[in-house]
């Protein structure tokens, strides 16, 4: 893969319109060895603060084969017709309600779907000029797959770049106080249908419904997460704040 950079991940601003705009994947092996059961895993490292413009782990179907392949894709989708790969920073998310019609996403939605591995994601709650970061995860603390799309872009020199975007949907009751969008989290039994070329469009769209709030949890964390330069376990530690200020 050519070394294109969509943005500088060390200078990624917090954009409140992006959702999901940051996430974590601390134990990648737990997802790829238990959910998809890949036997020969490559060397993978924990990542506590994943930002747009970097390569992220995912799974996608190999043509004519039932078992998907594990891949690394640059986060920020670049359509094959794009003139400049920098367009990818504006396409880190795709709205599930319009993904089948939008020119940038409709082809990938039909033919190039993927699953992005995560174990939690971040959102910032606005209170005046203050923004408090929250870590959102499954109550069982297991890793999960987010619905994604991928594309292959080729430069005039013939260099290839493979990129992806994460689908979003309307928020569940847990997410409503934080943001009007949330990533499409797929239940384990829905991962293969999402990747399968045999799944009808109507069935795919049904899979993009908000994940049940009762199966999720959230808590406030340190503002150190605001900078992608910070990437350490303490970013995910619960921040103790007065009970009356808690969101949940």
Closest to 218 in 3D by CA, of 183, 175, 185:
175
Residue 6 and residue 45: Cα distance in Å, rounded?
Answer: 22
Identify the three-state secondary structure at position 106: helix
Residue 241 and residue 248: Cα distance in Å, rounded?
Answer: 12
pLDDT at 248: 52
pLDDT at 1: 36
When comparing pLDDT for 168 and 10, which is higher?
168
The residue behind tokens 């690394």 is 72
25-38 tens-digit pLDDT: 999 999 999 888 88
Residue 27 and residue 58: Cα distance in Å, rounded?
Answer: 13
Nearby residues of 16 by Cβ (< 8 Å), 6 or more positions away: 124, 126, 131, 179
Nearby residues of 226 by Cβ (< 8 Å), 6 or more positions away: 14, 133
For the chain, domains (ranges, CATH) are 9-245 (3.90.1680.10)
Residue 126 and residue 133: Cα distance in Å, rounded?
Answer: 9
120-153 tens-digit pLDDT: 999 999 888 889 999 999 999 999 999 999 999 9
Residue 120 and residue 140: Cα distance in Å, rounded?
Answer: 11
Nearby residues of 136 by Cβ (< 8 Å), 6 or more positions away: 120, 121, 122, 123, 174, 175, 178, 182, 216, 217, 218
Residue 78 near residue 161, CB atoms below 8 Å: yes
Catalytic residues: 20, 123
194-211 tens-digit pLDDT: 999 999 999 999 999 999
Residue 209 and residue 143: Cα distance in Å, rounded?
Answer: 19
User: Both tokens of residue 18?
Assistant: 């992006």
Q: How confident is the model at residue 4 (pLDDT cuts 50, 70, 90)?
A: very low
How many CA atoms are closer than 13 Å to the CA of 164, on its beta-carbon side? Answer: 28
- Looking at the predicted structure, is the pLDDT value of residue 96 above 70? yes
- Looking at the predicted structure, is the pLDDT value of residue 65 above 80? no
Closest to 225 in 3D by CA, of 161, 136, 116, 111:
136
When comparing pLDDT for 9 and 197, which is higher?
197
61: DSSP letter: P
Q: How confident is the model at residue 8 (pLDDT cuts 50, 70, 90)?
A: very low
């Amino acid at each position: 893969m050519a070394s294109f950079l969509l943005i500088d991940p060390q200078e990624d601003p917090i954009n409140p319109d992006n959702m999901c705009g940051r996430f974590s994947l601390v134990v990648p092996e737990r997802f790829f060895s238990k959910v998809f059961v890949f036997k020969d895993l490559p060397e993978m490292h924990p990542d506590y603060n994943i930002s747009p413009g970097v390569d992220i782990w995912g799974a996608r179907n190999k043509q004519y084969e039932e078992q998907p392949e594990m891949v690394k894709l640059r986060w920020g989708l670049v359509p094959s017709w794009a003139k400049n790969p920098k367009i990818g920073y504006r396409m880190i998310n795709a709205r599930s309600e319009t993904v089948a019609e939008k020119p940038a996403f409709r082809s990938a939605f039909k033919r190039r779907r993927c699953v992005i591995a995560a174990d939690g994601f971040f959102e910032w709650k606005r209170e005046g000029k203050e923004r408090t970061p929250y870590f959102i995860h499954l109550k069982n603390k297991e890793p999960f797959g987010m619905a994604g799309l991928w594309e292959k872009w080729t430069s005039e020199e013939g260099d290839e770049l493979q990129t992806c975007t994460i689908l979003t949907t309307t928020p569940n009751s847990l997410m409503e106080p934080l943001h009007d969008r949330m990533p499409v989290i797929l239940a384990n039994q829905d991962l293969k249908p999402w990747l399968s070329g045999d799944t009808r469009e109507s069935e795919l769209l049904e899979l993009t419904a908000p994940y049940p709030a009762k199966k999720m949890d959230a808590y406030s964390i340190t503002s150190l997460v605001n900078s992608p330069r910070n990437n350490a376990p303490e970013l995910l530690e619960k921040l103790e704040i007065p009970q009356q200020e808690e969101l949940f």
